[in-house]
Amino acid sequence: MDGDSAPKGILNQTLLDLGLIAQPLDLMYNTLGVMIGLVQIYVPFMVLMLVPALQAIPADVEAAASILKAGRARIFFTITLPLALPGIVTGSILVFVLTISALVTPRMLGGPTYQVMATQIYDEFMTNLDWPSGAALAFVLTAIALGLIWGANRLSARVTRGLPDDGESTGLEARPCGDADPRLSEPADDRDHARGLFQNHLSDDPAAGLDAGLVPRRAE
């Protein structure tokens, strides 16, 4: 389709005004248009599966990793991504099932010449009146969907093995520690500096440490 006859929607017009393209993009009756339409329709379903999985991740786990000087990338790939993997797999299966059986979007955006399994099954039943062929294609589509879902579940179970279930303790929950010595909360550098001063003081006058009660006396 040439630039004069190509559809000029809001996307093409915006790209033309910004000078990013020289002629309108061909977004109708091709694979690109179908993919964009399917992504726009089914992304919310994926988000609905991801949000509960992300909210179920304990905040103290990421906080503990941050305290241990882990970077954002390492926290994401070692904590956030593994713990959110069940939601990712569930959302992927849901979106796959909806996409593989989509009929209206491929027919409207791809045109009558663009065929996917769902449109081919529809044409066999409604246009060609070839019910045996339509039933066979429907059976093949169902078998493919079930096989991929089974494989995804097996992969998810293997990858997420050993991860804590919802409600299971991670061992990182806050626990009351009683009346802690405030000296224990001092930075390690300060404690080391204080320890060095104390040792130097004892080397000069060991009796001072005994009188101050800093060094336990030997039982006589």
* Closest C-alpha to 101, from 168, 146, 52: 146
Rg value, the chain, Cα: 32
**Does the pTM exceed 0.75?**
no
Question: What is the per-residue pLDDT for 153?
Answer: 82
Provide the sign of the torsion angle of the four alpha carbons 18, 19, 21, 26, taken in this order.
positive
Task: Report the percent of the chain where pLDDT is more than 90.
Answer: 18
Cα separation, 55 vs 62, in Å, equals 12
Would you say 137 and 120 are in contact if contact means Cβ atoms under 8 Å apart?
yes
Distance CA 21, CA 92 (A): 33
The pLDDT tens digits for 135-191 are 999 999 999 889 988 888 888 777 766 555 544 544 444 444 444 444 444 445 545
Residue 212 binned pLDDT confidence (cut-offs 50, 70, 90)? very low
Q: To which residue do tokens 């089974």 refer?
A: 150
In one-letter notation, the amino acid at residue 97 is: V
- Give CA–CA dist 16/145, Å, rounded: 41
Q: Which domains does the chain have, with CATH numbers?
A: 31-159 (1.10.3720.10)
DSSP class of residue 177 equals -
- Taking alpha carbons only, the member of 138, 143, 95, 132 closest to residue 117 is 138
pLDDT tens-place string over residues 17-59: 888 888 888 888 888 888 989 999 999 999 999 999 999 988 8
Question: What span, in angstroms and rounded, lies between the C-alpha atoms of 76 and 40?
Answer: 26
- C-alpha 154/C-alpha 147 separation (Å) is 11
Position 6 confidence tier, pLDDT thresholds 50, 70, 90: low
| CA pair distance 76, 217, nearest whole angstrom | 52
pLDDT given at position 180: 47
Torsion over CA of 46, 51, 52 and 56, rounded to 10 degrees? 130
